[in-house]
Amino acid sequence: MQIYMFTSESTPSLRAFAGDSAGSKLPSKHGPWNQDGSIRSGDHPPHHFSRAKIEQAIKFDGFQLWRMKSDAVKPGDEAHTQAA
């Protein structure tokens, strides 16, 4: 499964994983959404998130949300992320 990554324009710290490139199932109340990239089948998601849990959430809900902490995040600093 290809996983697509999105960022909310209304809440920049809110991110999402979705199963389609348009993010058609992402919650509109947090939109609009911008696609940030994708994760190919077999590749690992960022921040040590569980690919199996992301795929399960996409299967049941169509997406999985997660949030970046509001303090300054340095590139590659995974300690500043948390699942929503």
pLDDT tens-digit series, residues 43-76: 999 888 999 999 999 999 999 999 988 654 445 4
Q: What is the pLDDT of residue 42?
A: 87
Average pLDDT taken over every residue of the chain: 86
Cβ atoms of 15 and 46 within 8 Å: the answer is: no
**Bridge partners, residue 82, by sequence:** 67
- Model confidence, pTM: 0.79
Cβ atoms of 17 and 64 within 8 Å: the answer is: yes
The arithmetic mean of pLDDT across residues 22-30, rounded, is 96
Q: What is the pLDDT of residue 69?
A: 80
Structure tokens at 56: 């399960």
